[in-house]
Structure 1
Amino acid sequence: MDPKETDAAIVSLLTQHQPALRLYIQSLMPGDSRAEDVAQETNAKIWEKRGDFEIGTHFKAWAFSIARFQVRKYRFSQAKDARLVFCDEIEDVIADEMMSEIDDLSDHQIALRSCLQMLKPADRDLIHHRYFKCTPLKEYSIQIGRSIGGLKITLHRLRNRLQICIEKRIALNKEIQA
């Protein structure tokens, strides 16, 4: 693979894993306002080390190990502060646990997107207005000419359908991977 193709592949993988990478860093730096800065530094370090990555291997694990190192580097620089600093063993436990949690979260997000696409457009609209736009039910009921009670019942049914759909998709994916 020529360097341009390799760079394009790295950019694609980094873009694909960016949300999980940011969540991972935030989980290692709970409540620290510099987590976003460390994420940017991690992206720069990944780009700097892109020649070390072998296309076809596990990019996410490689990127997360760089992120963990960047978090440790940041913590070391902040050790003079009176902040809580985790020892390496505790940090390793948290990092390993969060890696699996983020994998589960990504699986749930993928399943949710797929399940949402299976809904009727009117039902998708209701979900979108309620949970993504945070439109109050009273306001939305006036917009579409339905009662609040009817919308609550519909939302309850849709949540149940989505939960069942997500659970089935995740179980199916686990069977396929096994």
Structure 2
Amino acid sequence: MPQAKATPAVADDKLRLFEQLFEADKNRLYAYIFAFVSNSAAADDIFQETSLTLWHQFDKFELGTNFSKWANTIAFNRVLTFRTKHKKYQLGLNEDLLKELSDNLAVIESNAIQQEQKWHHLDNCRATLSSPLNNIYQRFYVENKTAKEVAEITGRSFYAVRKAVHKLRRKLIDCVDLKTKGDRHESQ
């Protein structure tokens, strides 16, 4: 059965989405490729081939899944193909070790993404703090003032500041945990 051609509007949306995802990921993807070949010219060639493949196979990408992970899989296969053709870029690493390195990089990137999300949640949670707690947060965590210094600045007792810092810390941890759990439920 012949496949229906995409309308120009759908094609434009697809192009915009690809550009958005690719732009956000291209520097990380290049670094990922470079880590396997340690040569700028080789990395440039593989990156170019990978970029074209990503565009040509973008119909196979499932929206809502991790673009970086999908791009890494394609890039990794391009690296393997390149290494097979150009033996001098093998750096004494066999394919099993390369696969293990790729898997480790994926875990590191996933952890970095989760950490970035937690920082984002912290910013959102901080926006919900009362003005006095936000003031203590600013002085204690951003300006690195001691509890004694914060007490002197705010006119509160040392113990009141310590209690407020404890309350602040508990409130932010609970808020970030709640938002993080919400992220996990949304991704399932």
TM-score (norm 2): 0.54
Counterparts of 1:1-178 in structure 2, within 5 Å, are: 1-3=10-12, 5-14=13-22, 21=28, 25=32, 45=48, 48-52=52-56, 53-54=58-59, 56-57=62-63, 58=65, 59-65=67-73, 77=89, 79=91, 87-128=97-138, 130-131=140-141, 134-137=142-145, 141=150, 144-146=153-155, 149=158, 150-178=160-188
Greater CA radius of gyration, 1 or 2? Answer: 2
Instruction: Give CA-to-partner distance per residue, 1:26-51, whole Å, 9 cap, x none.
Output: xx96xxxx8xx8xx969x64655552
Shift of 1:135: 1.8
Judge which range, 120-129 or 167-176, deviates more: 120-129
- Cα separation, 1, equivalents of 2:53 and 2:157: 55
Shift of 1:151: 4.1
Q: Identity rate of aligned residues, in percent?
A: 13
Shift of 1:118: 1.8
**Matched residue type, 1:95:** L
- Cα separation, 2, equivalents of 1:154 and 1:15: 43
Q: Is the 8 A contact 1:127 1:155 kept in 2?
A: yes
Per the alignment, in what secondary structure is the counterpart of residue 125 of structure 2? helix
Distance 1:171 1:142, change over 3 A: closer
TM-score (norm 1): 0.56
**Matched residue type, 2:154:** G
RMSD: 4.8
Per the alignment, in what secondary structure is the counterpart of residue 17 of structure 2? helix
Instruction: Give CA-to-partner distance per residue, 1:141-173, whole Å, 9 cap, x none.
Output: 389534583544433321221111121222233
Q: Which runs of 5+ in 1 are unaligned?
A: 81-85
- Cα separation, 2, equivalents of 1:164 and 1:126: 18
Q: Is the 8 A contact 2:122 2:176 kept in 1?
A: yes
Per the alignment, in what secondary structure is the counterpart of residue 119 of structure 1? coil
Q: Is the 8 A contact 2:54 2:74 kept in 1?
A: no
Matched residue count: 160
- Cα separation, 1, equivalents of 2:102 and 2:120: 27
Distance 1:120 1:47, change over 3 A: farther
- Cα separation, 1, equivalents of 2:156 and 2:44: 50
- Cα separation, 2, equivalents of 1:174 and 1:93: 21
